[in-house]
Each structure stands twice: as structure tokens, then as C-alpha cells.
Structure 1
Amino acid sequence: MISLKPLTRRIVYVSTFEIIAIAASTLLLSLLSGGPAHDSLPVAAAVSAIAVAWNYIFNTLFEAWERRTQRTSRSLILRSVHAICFEGGLFLFTLPLYMAWYHVGPWEAIKMEAALLLFFLFYTFIFTLVFDTIFTLPGQKKQEAAATPADNTEGLPTEALR
């Protein structure tokens, strides 16, 4: 696994995630709106900009919570909560954009957003799972090293190793 500093990790995560997201969003929005893909590219890029800001804020707060609670891995339940909370916030931020761009009412925008939300809920979950497999969580290497006793210290309490 590759270890990155927290800020570098967030930048790599967001950049990679959004490049894939813009391409997928353009195609999905084109299908949902019935228009050509080039008409959906600007809104996909705008949503990406909103998502980048939200992603940075959300994941900064989420990882701070993980550090405070001394988590070094993410369970299936925690990954699900992470994806649902992230997508729920993004839903609230982007709904007005869909209404304005596609000249639709709230109900049509909600249906469009719901379709995208379902796709991105799974995409976020899978992307983050793969990302965390490749890139260690911040602090994971330090804790793994601390958990491995030196050859002559086996059986000593942690306090004796300091």
C-alpha cells in the first residue's frame, strides 16, 4: 500500500474521483435529459466543482473524526454511512443547479438527482474501497509499527516500550 500525507491523499482522491465523475455524469445527464452529451458537459463540470469543494470539506471533517476516534480502517457500515452522508449533502447543493440548467421544476430535478444519486452512491462506495486498498489511511503505518513489538520486547505492556 502507498502512504501519502493527509493533504496529498485528499488531493489525489478528489482529482481521480472527479475526472471519472465528470465523464460518467456527462453521459448520465445526457441520457436523463434526452439531450446530447455536449449539452450536459457544462453542468457535469459545475457539479464537479461543487463536489470538489464539498468533498474537501466533508472528508477533512470525516478524517478528523477518524483521528479523534483512533480509527485505522473503515468497516462496511462506516463506508456506507460515509457514502450516504456525502451524497446527501451533494444532493442539497446541486438540486438548484439541475432546476436552472434543464429548466425543470423541483420534482423533475429530484428525479434526475435521484438517478444520479443512486449511481454515485455505489460509485463513491466502490471508489473509496479501492482507493483505501491502494493508499493507506492517514496514521495507519505509524499504528502498525507501534503494534509490532521489537524482538526483545514481546509480552511487555505498551507503556514499557516508551
Structure 2
Amino acid sequence: MKSTRDRVRQAISFEVIGLLLSVPLAAVTFGFDMGRTGVLGVVGATIATIWNYLFNLGFDHGLKHFTGSTQKSLRVRFLHAVSFELGLMLIFLPIIAWWMGIGLLEALIVDIAFVVFYLVYAFVFTWCYDTIFPDTDAKKSNAT
């Protein structure tokens, strides 16, 4: 199981890199003001960081309970990314609509674009992160 320190490092690095990629992309794609998009991104990243920590902690505990290991197969990584993003989407949708001054339907389109971006990004980032900072518990489970 990953330590609290490792989980914090993972969450913060995920959000910082994600912001650097997603804010300019969203501003250009949707024609939004970069400043407002940046604030939206920081608010979203803050919410996502808290959600990331809580979700990953719960997911890993559940995974360890049901499988005896925190090792993630390709299928489990897909389930992890999709369930994380769906939960975050539900939280973030009304904030997008309110802050950007747009209707819920337009906010849903923006939110879906963020979800698609972050689904791919979360999958790639987590795989790379787990490769660079392997979970020693997962290695022990593979050895048995």
C-alpha cells in the first residue's frame, strides 16, 4: 500500500502537470478567457486533488480487500480512471456552469471535454507514476 507521503506527491504532481496541459487547451478550444479558465482550473485541481487522495485511498483499500494486492491490471486501471472521472464530473459540473456563466448543457460539454482529456491523462500518468515509484506491496504480491 502506498504511503500518505507518496499519495500526496502523486496527487500534487498529477494536478500540476494536468493544469499546465489542460488550461491553455480548454481556453483555446472553447474560446474562454485564459484568466477565468485558469481560475476554474485551479478550483477544479483543488477539488480533484482532494478527490484524488480520498478516491485512491478507498480504491486501493477495496482492491486489496477483494484481491489481496494493490496491483492494477489493465482492466482495473480502466475501471479506476473511469470511476474517478465520473465522480469528479458530478462534483465539477455546477461549478463550471456558474463560474463561466454558461448553461448546464454547455457546461456539460466542457465537462465532458475535461473528462476525455483527463481519462487519457489519468491512465498514462498513473501508469508512468507507478513505473517510476512502484508500490512495494504490489511487488511482494507478485512474488507469491
User: Please, what TM-score do these two structures have when normalized by structure 1?
Assistant: 0.81
SS in 1 for 2:134: coil
8 Å contact kept, 2:15–2:45: yes
- The one-letter amino acid paired with 1:51 is A
Q: Matched residues in 2 for 1:76 and 1:132: separation?
A: 13
Q: Matched residues in 2 for 1:133 and 1:21: separation?
A: 18
Task: Mark the CA change 1:143 to 1:79 in structure 2 (over 3 Å): closer, same or farther.
Answer: closer
Q: Which moved more, 1:67-76 or 1:8-17?
A: 67-76
SS in 2 for 1:119: helix
Q: Deviations over 1:2-50 (max 9, x none)?
A: xx95212211110110101121231132124313322311110000011
Q: Deviations over 1:54-73 (max 9, x none)?
A: 11110010111122121242
Q: Matched residues in 1 for 2:85 and 2:38: separation?
A: 20
Kindly indicate which of the two structures has a greater share of residues assigned to helix: 2
Q: CA deviation at 1:144?
A: 5.6
SS in 1 for 2:39: helix
2:97 is aligned to 99
8 Å contact kept, 2:19–2:42: yes
* Bigger Rg, which one: 1
Q: Matched residues in 2 for 1:59 and 1:77: separation?
A: 16
1:78 is aligned to 76
2:51 is aligned to 54
How many residues in Structure 1 have an aligned counterpart in Structure 2?
143
Runs of 4+ residues over 6 Å off in structure 1: none
Asked if 1:15 is matched to 2:36, the reply is no
- The one-letter amino acid paired with 2:85 is E
Q: Matched residues in 1 for 2:142 and 2:75: separation?
A: 23
Task: Mark the CA change 1:5 to 1:111 in structure 2 (over 3 Å): closer, same or farther.
Answer: closer
8 Å contact kept, 1:6–1:138: no
* Identity between Structure 1 and Structure 2 (%): 34
1:113 is aligned to 111
Unmatched runs of 5 consecutive residues or more in structure 1 = 148-162
1:154 is aligned to none
Unmatched runs of 5 consecutive residues or more in structure 2 = none
8 Å contact kept, 1:18–1:52: yes
8 Å contact kept, 1:32–1:112: no
